[in-house]
Structure 1
Amino acid sequence: MNTTSGKETRVREEKIRCDACPVMCYIGEGKIGACDRYANQGGEIVRCDPLTVLDRTLEHGGEVRPFLGRDWHDGLSTDDLFVTAVGAGTTYPDYKPAPFLASREVDGADFVTVVTEAIFSYCGVKVKIDTDRHLGHEGAVIRHQGEAVGLMITSEYGSQMMSLGGVDHLTGGSKLEGRVTCDVLLRLLNREAVTLTVDGGAEVVVEAGVAPIVDGQQEARMRVGCGSATIGMFASQWQGLVDEVVVVDDHITGVVSEHQAGKVLGWPDTGIRIKGRRSTPGRYFQVAEPGLGWGGTNIDDPLSILGPWLEKKGAREGLSLLMVSTTGEHAAYFELDADLEPQAKPMPEALKPSVALIAENCEPALCTVMFMGGAGGSLRSGVTRNPVKLTDAVQAGRADVTVGGAKSFVWPGGGITLMADVTQTPKGAFGMVPTPAIVAPLEFTVSKEEYEALGGHVDSVRDVLDILQSGGAYARDSHVFGKGEDSE
């Protein structure tokens, strides 16, 4: 403070305005903006994170050639390098060219890669969770810290699906809902663990590339198939060792003596009766409610799905029964007594290998996190002066779209709606702005001729090695990572 005529006057800190996103922060010297991505350094806005460049060169033995900490660019062909948008900066305000337009030669052809960190309100993640355990009914709301962040969608073969985020959660609800949703998306996209609760269902810990934890229990494997498929695969393994096999499954429970696979093998009738809705022979729906028990049902006692055995259909004292789940996690052996009631017996040694074979054929359970976003709007102005031409080129396959270097799937139809596996991106590739919105690295790669035909910002195109040596407006430094390495 200064003193003038006995009065104290406050010296106002000089701040500069950052135009990297719609928040337009005023940032003091040495301070970082609300996004933790841009800072005021010496009166100039700088990007906090380095530009990330992937090295796609593999040497003998499949090892990645290291370039960090050495004069790595000497004698290096530009087709070895791919400039990602991680650390590049945004196009905001969108009338200007993208932060980096990298020119490189690949196999004798000239290409231009336009990189920009796109600000996404229209985005979310699709999560595939490999488990038979019931997570929640389709349409059930998914929450984090009590706030709605998504919903359960369809079950797929051995997996259950979640849809998280989206513009309605980010901007259509309360401020708290938007902030929590953005935090969940960012952590999942950057491969961190997030605990989610499903209304009327389970608590699930989700982390990309890691086995899910359902109600405190970590999954080990996904099912080999439904009960009917399991019968089809392994019926011959059981023939001659046991009189009847029931594979318990929440969706389709299989019975070997009735199943076509058993009939082809000449399997005799046993007089077994299954509670539930019979489909085709040997296939039963709705034998129990979904849950965390046998085969994704809510039962702990497999005998609860059986009705009275019919002697006239082949039931007899001493008839043997194997009941097993679709992962081999649950298995039990029974024999009928004189009253045709199943009695538990020790598992015969001859049957143990068939149960182990089911488990052996189950794949490891994982969580898969797919970034999904609509890459339309004004970000296309950073690529071309005529934005619809970029959309047309992407849909026609003339422009390749990647997310932090990861290949993306572009949905047919209008716009640029894409999906990408976050485990294929450098770790920490995604960011956020407090609007709230997700910031995702986006790269458009086209031939030089195509870029000119798009009406691209040709005057702003720079050679990739020049970019790495001199950086740009928001990226004074650059790091190079081998393919598959993390950017930590």
Structure 2
Amino acid sequence: MSPQARNKEEKIRCDACPVMCYIGDGKIGACDRYANLNGEIVRCDPLTVLDRAIQGGTAVRPFLGRDWHDGLNTDDLFVTAVGAGTTYPDYKPAPFLVQQSVQGADFVTVVTEAIFSYCGVKVKIDTDRHLGEEGAQICHNGEAVGLMITSEYGSQMMSLGGVDHLTGGSKAEGRVTCDVLLRLLNREAVDLSVEGGAEVVVQAGEAPIVNGVKEVRMRVGCGSATIGMFSSQWKGLADEVVVVDDHITGVVSEHQAGKVLGWPDTGIRIKGRRSTPGRYFQVAAPGPGWGGTDISDPLDILGPWRPEKGARAGLTMLMVSTTGEHAAFYRLDAELQPQPEPIPDPLRASVALIAQNCEPALCTVMFMGGAGGSLRSGVTQNPVKLTQAVQSGRARVSVGGADSYVWPGGGITLMTDVTKTPRGAFGMVPTPAIVAPLEFTIAKDDYAALGGHTDEVRPVLDILQSGGIYARDSHVVSDEDQQE
């Protein structure tokens, strides 16, 4: 195309986000969500409607102008905001305000794709391995995208994204952060590097990959809890059992569970800080080895044995990790030095039982965002009333049809499990910001009382037949499709 022809190409301006792209005919905007089709701005993705009555997960059906919905029981339909479009610039009503009657009660669902700068993901990674220190920076492609936060029982936690990374740093940091968030929200795999720690591949609903090794299971409990669960099965099979753990290493002969069972003293000595009987902190540094420590030889956590406390030649000891991944059996020689021996079959069965009681290791990705600002004016002419309705429980907030947890206090700060949303539910705009599908469902009378845009409310069948300004095509998915 010549420069002259290019200059004459007619473009139209899209107002779906603050970027305000000029889009040529047949072209797509910078967000890949809107296009110019014959001089009209259209939404590229179909509006998604959930049909919870469909079984088998086979119904993905275009419907605008079709007759498949004639006589359909709309009680089972839920119009999501996936593919709906935005309210930007937010003086206008949401793209779809849907009226439905469910079990005799009239409801209105306000459907809009919200633009979030104040958003991120909280990631729970089931692993016993040390990923990084609390507060350590997390990077992708050399850009900071988040940090490690407090560990939880059997899991390491990350906080990724947030407004400071999206808009408070360099342009490169914002772009990379937005890309990481979008891929995680849409259940894609992302490589992350923890400062001074591990390389981790995170994908919602999948096992984490730590330093190139796919995790299989999360720990059954700390070392002390493991003793509490399995000590009765070890009695009579070994003179001592040590459960190695980065948090609390357990010693059965000293532990209260062992004392209740009548376990004799063995004269064992454990390096580390003794907490309560049979429970030790800081036996080793955190790491990728036994029980989330940095050791590869469990004997490194032992001090000299004490004959005056019961140590003797021939005493047997099982050492095991909290996942059953590591296990070793020893017998004290004449100098009271542990010598390795094959694990007896009865004890091997108990190690297998520990592993059996460990749950599969998974990555959980929770979308977290503050649904405030002017998007509320797409719901009501008095935005604070929407916040009040949400906080009082009169309005339900969902994300792509998935239930959300709304934090107490001011505003509408919510969290949602992304595996409960339809695939591809999230988008982005190059400001940069994340676009998330939000639905507010409220009784029809309550919607009118909070100053809602009642003149824009339409029956669900009208939406199925006619669509809306950005909906030229749509499809229905079942709950099973939603999870696939």
Where 1:266 maps in the other structure, the secondary structure is coil
- Is the Cα contact below 8 Å between 1:153 and 1:161 reproduced in 2? yes
Higher alpha-carbon deviation: 461-470 or 83-92: 461-470
Q: How many residues align?
A: 481
The one-letter amino acid of 1:98's match is A
Give 2:312's match in structure 1, choosing from 313, 316, 337: 316
Higher alpha-carbon deviation: 464-473 or 147-156: 464-473
Given the superposition, is the C-alpha separation of residues 38 and 380 from structure 1 closer, same or farther in structure 2, using an over 3 Å criterion? Answer: same
Paired position in structure 2 for 1:5: none
Q: Displacement of 1:12 after TM fit?
A: 1.0
Q: Displacement of 1:351 after TM fit?
A: 0.7
Following superposition of structure 1 onto structure 2, how do residues 405-444 of structure 1 map, counting pairs within 5 Å? 405-444=401-440
Distance 1:137 1:11 in 2: 55
The one-letter amino acid of 2:189's match is A
Structure 1: 5+ residue stretches without partners = 3-7
RMSD: 1.5
Distance 1:239 1:487 in 2: 45
Given the superposition, is the C-alpha separation of residues 169 and 245 from structure 1 closer, same or farther in structure 2, using an over 3 Å criterion? Answer: same
Paired position in structure 2 for 1:68: 61
Given the superposition, is the C-alpha separation of residues 438 and 10 from structure 1 closer, same or farther in structure 2, using an over 3 Å criterion? Answer: closer
Given the superposition, is the C-alpha separation of residues 9 and 30 from structure 1 closer, same or farther in structure 2, using an over 3 Å criterion? Answer: closer
Paired position in structure 2 for 1:399: 395
The one-letter amino acid of 2:453's match is H
Where 1:353 maps in the other structure, the secondary structure is helix
Q: Displacement of 1:81 after TM fit?
A: 0.3
Give 1:143's match in structure 2, choosing from 131, 136, 139: 139
Paired position in structure 2 for 1:25: 21
Q: Displacement of 1:78 after TM fit?
A: 1.3
The one-letter amino acid of 1:243's match is D
Q: Deviations over 1:54-89 (max 9, x none)?
A: 011155xxx457362685412211111000000000
- Is the Cα contact below 8 Å between 2:253 and 2:278 reproduced in 1? yes
Distance 1:306 1:402 in 2: 53
Q: Deviations over 1:143-179 (max 9, x none)?
A: 0000000000000000000000000000000000000
TM-score (norm 2): 0.97
Given the superposition, is the C-alpha separation of residues 307 and 11 from structure 1 closer, same or farther in structure 2, using an over 3 Å criterion? Answer: closer
Distance 2:59 2:282 in 1: 56
Give 1:44's match in structure 2, choosing from 40, 44, 47: 40
Given the superposition, is the C-alpha separation of residues 11 and 238 from structure 1 closer, same or farther in structure 2, using an over 3 Å criterion? Answer: closer
Following superposition of structure 1 onto structure 2, how do residues 101-120 of structure 1 map, counting pairs within 5 Å? 101-120=97-116
Following superposition of structure 1 onto structure 2, how do residues 204-215 of structure 1 map, counting pairs within 5 Å? 204-215=200-211
**Are residues 1:460 and 2:453 paired?**
no
Given the superposition, is the C-alpha separation of residues 10 and 367 from structure 1 closer, same or farther in structure 2, using an over 3 Å criterion? Answer: closer
Distance 1:449 1:64 in 2: 35
Where 1:484 maps in the other structure, the secondary structure is helix
Following superposition of structure 1 onto structure 2, how do residues 134-213 of structure 1 map, counting pairs within 5 Å? 134-213=130-209
Paired position in structure 1 for 2:465: 469
Paired position in structure 2 for 1:281: 277
Structure 2: 5+ residue stretches without partners = none
Given the superposition, is the C-alpha separation of residues 166 and 10 from structure 1 closer, same or farther in structure 2, using an over 3 Å criterion? Answer: closer
Paired position in structure 2 for 1:292: 288
- Is the Cα contact below 8 Å between 1:130 and 1:222 reproduced in 2? yes
Paired position in structure 2 for 1:370: 366
Aligned structure 1 segments of 4 or more residues deviating by more than 4 angstroms: 8-11
Give 2:85's match in structure 1, choosing from 85, 89, 113: 89
Distance 1:412 1:452 in 2: 24
TM-score (norm 1): 0.97
Give 1:240's match in structure 2, choosing from 233, 236, 240: 236
- Is the Cα contact below 8 Å between 1:320 and 1:334 reproduced in 2? yes
Q: Deviations over 1:328-369 (max 9, x none)?
A: 000000000000000000111111110000000000000000
Q: Displacement of 1:465 after TM fit?
A: 1.2
- Is the Cα contact below 8 Å between 2:314 and 2:331 reproduced in 1? yes
Distance 1:211 1:397 in 2: 35
Distance 2:6 2:146 in 1: 48
Identity %: 81
Distance 1:314 1:379 in 2: 71
Q: Displacement of 1:307 after TM fit?
A: 0.3
- Is the Cα contact below 8 Å between 1:481 and 1:487 reproduced in 2? no
Q: Deviations over 1:201-260 (max 9, x none)?
A: 000000000000000000000000000000000000100111000000000000000000
Q: Displacement of 1:326 after TM fit?
A: 0.2
